[in-house]
Amino acid sequence: MKRIVIFASGSGTNAENIIKHFQDSGLAKVIHVLSNKKDAKVLDRAKVLGVANSSFSKNDLLETNTIYDLMLQLNPDLIVLAGFLLKFPENIISAFPNKIINVHPALLPKYGGKGMYGSLVHKAVVANNEVVSGITIHYVNEHYDEGNIIFQADTQLVSTDTFEDVAAKIHVLEQKHFPLVIEQLLN
């Protein structure tokens, strides 16, 4: 059974979807969910689904070996960033080469990089009158949103779309494709 660890900062709908996708799969299991926010809804979602979960500080991740040591102990086959907003540390990236992936709510290389996440991405897409947006699932490296692209899916936009409309379209793509791409990577 393959082991998945999820890092998330927010509500955790993608994390919940991934946990449920693999619950009875026989292929993989989400063994731990971590968040850099003590009150993140993702921790509640994990708890309800019976998945070990914990929060940590930015200092735990970036200035000590607390999270690095935990990753070595958990020894996941895949680390999934699902709405995780901190830059991932190089010591963990080095310890798990090509085993850390992220979903980005745009078609990289457009609308990527530091500060481009969530509604900020969707607002930029709308402001630039884009006619298409989408998701990018990519490997994580030492730079924001610059790891090798694994998968992209797009959706059409119309001129009347608000950033909330774009967010809803992107969420549909994430829910549909993210678990399937993870499954392909673990097979």
Which strands sit side by side in the sheet containing 28-35, from one edge to the other?
A: 53-55, 28-35, 2-8, 78-81, 100-104, 132-139, 149-156
Cα separation, 101 vs 92, whole angstroms: 12
| 124 three-state secondary structure | helix
143 touches 109 (CB < 8 A):
no
Please tell me which residue in 104, 138, 143, 171 is annotated as part of the active site.
Answer: 104
Furthest CA-CA distance within the chain: 49
Active site residue 138: no
Lookup: tokens for 87: 């830059």
Least Cα distance to 31 among 49, 13, 44 occurs for: 49
Residue 154: C-alpha distances to residues 131, 132, 143, 167, 173 (Å): 10, 7, 23, 12, 8
- Annotated catalytic residues are 104
